[in-house]
Structure 1
Amino acid sequence: MDAALLHTVADGVATVVISHPAKRNAMTAAMWRALPELLPGLAADPAVRVLVLTGAGPTFCAGADISSLAGDEDPQALAVAAEEALAAFPKPTIAAIRGFCVGGGSQLAAACDLRFAEEGASFGVTPARLGIVYPASSTRRLAGLVGPAMAKYLLFSAELIDAEHALRAGFLNELLPAGQLVKRVADFSRVLAGRSQLTQAAAKEFADGRTDRDAYWTAQAAGSGDTAEGVAAFLERRTPSFTWTAAGSAAGTTAG
């Protein structure tokens, strides 16, 4: 099968699959370029409320396929552009991880909001094996997840850690027994798809360090009707029907 990013949309969830089985889903230059091109359309689609990033078969992503690069291409620039596009996606994102999540794979997983993995997964940040300076933005994102000491451990050593270690370090949100990852991610995605996109979009910006959007989100909340609907649904013991969408707001283009 050719190397590609595949995607489907069903029941409010966009699933993006890293597919390059011949090289453990290593990202080619074309795949790095394709991700920032794919995401804006999914962000603007009102049918999409959650995005799941996963790998084809038993591996998430084993890094970058260096052999696919043209002589004048900068693999780090391609990876950072894809990572930043994923981090800026205005709706909740989940990395669903099996097998190897190494190098550029860990970079992509860290750019997602949440990371769920299956037992047996392995994680590593490996530029020290190649004498590469890991990007500043990627280093800060990693340190924000696992703390400076653990980020240094991973970057200094380039050693792989198992899923249990990644969970203890704070890289993973949940670790699932073998065979349960797909169901758990699907179930949790449905939970997220039923919650207020207004709450999620504001929380994503604030948690990611935006400090200039308080007035914007106050205005969005005042005009959305979501709060009134949420309270009414709670009192009436029914499922709320929230109407604010990230696709229809400025958050879809300015979040970061």
Structure 2
Amino acid sequence: MSDAELTVEVAGPVATVVIRNPGRRNAMTPAMWRQLPVLLDGLEADPAVHALVLTGADGTFCAGADLGDLDELLEAGDGSIAVAAEERLAAFAKPTLAAIQGACVGGGCQLAVACDLRIAAVDARLGVPPARLGLVYPAPTTRRLARLIGPSAAKHLLFTSELIDAERALRVGLVDEVLPADAVSARVDAITSAIAQRSRLTVAAAKEIIDERADEARTAWWHGQVRDSGEAREGVAAANERRPPRFGWAPPGRP
């Protein structure tokens, strides 16, 4: 039996998906790529989960995709199971955060970029190496990377296949914060705790609008949710009364 798997840990309102593939620096196998969307479907449907963390086991985020079946990869192109998993992660309706230590390369970087936020340890090394392998990086993946860090920085990573350290990744916008390795977990906990205390309505709407997934009708629907839910009235009342807000809105599903 393979010990390569994705595991889920839920603590309060935060779910953590852990990439585990000992001996391969947590490389993603085909089975793991297929497993990820299934896990995400369940966590998105769970009303108790307010945020998701993606990380790797044993001090390594993910060293890439397991390229054991190269013919399958070449045949699939942009229709690969890796792209499908990435797109599902990017479309996850709740905030996502990648906690990065060690190698975050290729398919690992692909997953990190699909998250909303990225917190990196100082020992992190990030890069996308398809030019070393003669592969074309998937178009959705390439565009997402370029939107995040800009065309020039994306071209540098793709043209050279260089791995960059966490400080450079911070400068180009590939990660949001860089911390000592032993401080990453506490910072991730602080961010996800803050998110869990905020209005889920505000957070969900902001994510859709920033990611350009909300058309005019959907944006109008969000404003209707604000009017009908009483969320804003509760937030203003809590601020005036100097108390924590008691937000109660829950996602009703897409109309």
| TM-score, scaled to structure 1 | 0.93
Measure the CA separation in 2 of the matches of 1:211 and 1:15.
27
How much does 1:21 deviate? 1.6
Measure the CA separation in 1 of the matches of 2:110 and 2:94.
19
1:60-105 Cα offsets, whole Å, 9 max, x none, are 00001112x3854648611100000000000100000000000000
Q: Which residue of 2 aligns with 1:141?
A: 144
Q: Which residue of 2 aligns with 1:152?
A: 155
Measure the CA separation in 2 of the matches of 1:70 and 1:134.
14
1:172-200 Cα offsets, whole Å, 9 max, x none, are 11111131001110111101111111111
Report runs of 4+ in structure 1 exceeding 2 Å deviation. Answer: 69-76
| Contact 2:98-2:119 within 8 A present in 1 as well | yes
Q: Which residue of 1 aligns with 2:123?
A: 120
Q: Which residue of 2 aligns with 1:3?
A: 4
Matches within 5 A, 1:53-132: 53-67=54-68, 69=69, 72=72, 74=76, 77-132=80-135
Unpaired runs of at least 5, structure 2: none
Q: Which residue of 1 aligns with 2:41?
A: 40
Q: Per the alignment, in what secondary structure is the counterpart of residue 61 of structure 1?
A: coil
Q: Per the alignment, in what secondary structure is the counterpart of residue 17 of structure 1?
A: strand
Higher RCO structure, 1 or 2 (CA under 8 Å, sep 6+)? 1
Cα separation, partners in 2 of 1:72 and 1:125, compared to 1, 3 Å: closer
Measure the CA separation in 1 of the matches of 2:106 and 2:61.
11
| Contact 1:29-1:75 within 8 A present in 2 as well | no
Measure the CA separation in 1 of the matches of 2:205 and 2:240.
24
| Contact 1:66-1:75 within 8 A present in 2 as well | no
Unpaired runs of at least 5, structure 1: 252-256
Measure the CA separation in 1 of the matches of 2:173 and 2:65.
24
Matches within 5 A, 1:4-23: 4-23=5-24
1:140-161 Cα offsets, whole Å, 9 max, x none, are 1101110000000001111100
1:197-252 Cα offsets, whole Å, 9 max, x none, are 11111111111123512212112212221111111111111111111123x3328x
Measure the CA separation in 2 of the matches of 1:211 and 1:31.
30
Measure the CA separation in 1 of the matches of 2:77 and 2:49.
30
Q: Which residue of 2 aligns with 1:241?
A: 246
User: In the alignment, is residue 224 of structure 1 matched against residue 224 of structure 2?
Assistant: no
How much does 1:40 deviate? 1.1
Measure the CA separation in 1 of the matches of 2:77 and 2:17.
21
CA RMSD of aligned residues (A): 1.5
Measure the CA separation in 1 of the matches of 2:156 and 2:178.
21
**2:231 partner letter:** D
**1:245 partner letter:** A
Q: State percent identity of aligned pairs.
A: 59
